[in-house]
Amino acid sequence: MGILSWIIFGLIAGALAKWIMPGNDPGGIIITIIIGIVGAIVGGYIGTMIGFGDVSGFNIKSFLIAIAGALLLLFVYRQIKK
């Protein structure tokens, strides 16, 4: 996927992660994009390690992995900020 696709994919995954796990997090759209993109990378890495799959394009499986990674990243970020 191209960089623009990753940014859009990350924005959607990050926004859904914040919607699923609401809270008073600092940052705006840029932080949401970063959480989504890094979450997709983390989710893809973990998914590959456990044999579930990786983030290989715009499909449901990749989208769920990216959201799970973004949720994990958001949880860790909140634990560190406490």
pLDDT tens figures, 2-14: 566 667 777 888 8
Find the helix or strand (DSSP H, E) in which 32 lies. Answer: helix 29-50
Residue 12 is predicted with a pLDDT of 83
What mean pLDDT is predicted for residues 37-66? 76
Residue 39 above 60 pLDDT?
Answer: yes
Mean pLDDT over 45-72 rounds to 77
Q: How far is CA 81 from the centre of its chain?
A: 18
pLDDT at res. 57? 66
Which DSSP string corresponds to 58-70? SSHHHHHHHHHHH
CA distance 3 to 6: 5
What radius of gyration do the chain's Cα atoms show?
A: 12
Over residues 45-55, mean pLDDT: 74
